[in-house]
Amino acid sequence: MISAFDWVETYSAQNAIEANLLKGLLELNSIMVLLKGESLSGALGEIPIDQTEVKILVPQIKQRQAQKILLEYQSKQQDSQDWQCANCEEYNGCGFEVCWSCSISK
């Protein structure tokens, strides 16, 4: 049986940099965080890449709040990708709201 104070995995970060960024984000919202597997990135090449992910654990009682924050983070990450203009098919960087080639909005 899981207690409200048990640590539960909430997210798998791609690397230690992303994990520490998210740890800081969660801690700003008064959520304690444990990182599991942070030092495995040094073994990249020796072990499969999917085993070098860093697991983010939070107390069970804070899991819902943490998941909401992490979903917002993922949503912003998806919005910050390059895009292709529907009008001229030119590729634009994520910082562009208007196509640099034909001036049509995203």
**Number of domains into which the chain is organized:** 1
Classify each residue of 72-83 as buried b or exposed e, where b means 16 or more C-beta atoms within 10 Å of its C-beta: ebeeeeeeeeee
More reliable by pLDDT, 74 or 35: 35
- Whether residue 47 is contained in a domain is answered as yes
- Whether residue 97 is contained in a domain is answered as no
Task: Give the mean pLDDT of 18-32.
Answer: 96
- Whether residue 102 is contained in a domain is answered as no
Q: What is the CATH number of the domain that holds 30?
A: 3.30.70
Domain that holds residue 28: 7-81
Question: pLDDT per residue over 60-89, tens digit each?
Answer: 999 999 999 999 988 877 666 788 899 999
Q: Give the model's pLDDT for residue 26.
A: 97
Q: Give the model's pLDDT for residue 82.
A: 83
- Whether residue 71 is contained in a domain is answered as yes
- Whether residue 90 is contained in a domain is answered as no
| pTM of this structure | 0.64
- Whether residue 63 is contained in a domain is answered as yes
- Whether residue 25 is contained in a domain is answered as yes
- Whether residue 105 is contained in a domain is answered as no
